[in-house]
Structure 1
Amino acid sequence: MNFTKACLVAAFLWVSQGHAAEFKVFEHLNFDGGPKDFRQFGMERLTIVDPHILGPDIPNPAQIDEAKRQPRTNEHLVIDIESWPLEGEGQAVSIGKYQQTLTAFRKADPNIRLGLYSVLPVRDYWRANGHHGEAGVAAWRKTNSDIAAGLIPYVDDLYPSLYTFYGDKDAWIVYAEANLREARRISAGKPVYCFLWPQFFKTFAFLPGDYWYAELDTCRRMADGVVLWGTIRDAGPPHRSAEWDDKAEWWQATLRFLSEVRGTR
């Protein structure tokens, strides 16, 4: 069975089994003030390791050991390396680097659940929204199929990134649904957890409550869980964490969402 057929079979099985698994809510939130432990709200801390720990290239054993020493409260670990090109001539080299990195982590800890931030699929806004026509969508899907053929066997979970670039909520939903359908298509039945950030990508303004709730709800409909990431106060460097406000619209929408998720468990 080729890769595409295998993905289609896995997706059918996922749907036919009723998507009965518990919806997970992870966080990697850092604020100036406010809660230091979000488990009291029903969220799990997600450990993320990036080039600040791993370096700019394939990590060496010392860097892997340093990554292993990062605090973890569960078996999940996300590798965030965004400098290796996933489209164009460098794609094959990048896939090889990710394979070697994931293999090294797997060897260091066979019990870990590994994923790559915003790799499976490649995050896309305009092609996913249809602005480049059918040819653009086809090119994006081919890129994702090529990457998935090389990397899906090496990961346990998929972590698509669905950050907010513009103020059009309806357009965000179209973009998010397209990226999540693509994640499901290439997932081979593995769990999909959405990365969301409660701030706009460029201005760092926090999202209105209804916009943020729509993002959470979209992930609830189409994924196995969500990762809440942030925060940034202003354009650094160095980046500083935003000030905590427990009355902020985004946080009140989050509490509403968490109460609903807990009520369905």
Structure 2
Amino acid sequence: MPLPHHLPVEIGDAIASTVSELYPGAPATLLYGSTLSGERSARSDIDLLVILAGGDRMVERRVRRGGLTFQITAIPRHALPHLPGASRKAGRQVGLVGLVHGQVVLGALPELEDLRRLAVDAFTEVNAAMSRQWERNLRKAVEMAESALDRPGPGGTALALRAVAMLMEAELQSRSRDYFSTRSRLRALAEAEPDIVADYARIAASVAAGEMEPLAGVARRLLKTLPPPPDDEIVRNAPVAVFMR
């Protein structure tokens, strides 16, 4: 089957050459993230899950090749069935994003659909935990913003600026319904929502000038208006087609 139609030929070639150089003989490579979805910006990483024939551990690395940045997770094939259990134990996504969302672009992985079903079950549980964490982070940002009102001077300003960043992140995630974003994905969300970024830039400028009330007002508004993420948000949006070459 062909690669996703929106994937530029040069990126497909770069994926093939990078994997061949770093992981010769890898049975399969899955592409996921903004490059697969067609939402990639010039600064986005290319997210790859590389399946290894052997080895005893998962390795994550970030490399640059030909002006492109690759975020690579490499996992031994025999370890794939254990990822859901590891994710449940860790309370976070341990290699699950690529397994649930990924599409094979190099090689073949006949057991992918069976693995995907196992991973989706674990993903649902992990998402529920991360959803609760998102809400806790929002409440923490609101508390920080309110605490900054009672802390004049550099300490209060630093606390308030940190709250500004956390509140902007929460609002970007809520607006896009992308609640568990990586750093590169957050940059893409910010580029897609310049009005939100501009609003928070103005709030940050007010904070730097010693005016905390605008920040406190925004914090209270977000706490009342931002809906919590549904536990199955990522799972419902997971692609099911597999592209191979």
Compute the TM-score of the two structures, normalised by the length of structure 2. Answer: 0.27
Q: Which protein shows a greater Rg?
A: 2
Specify which structure has the higher proportion of helix: 2
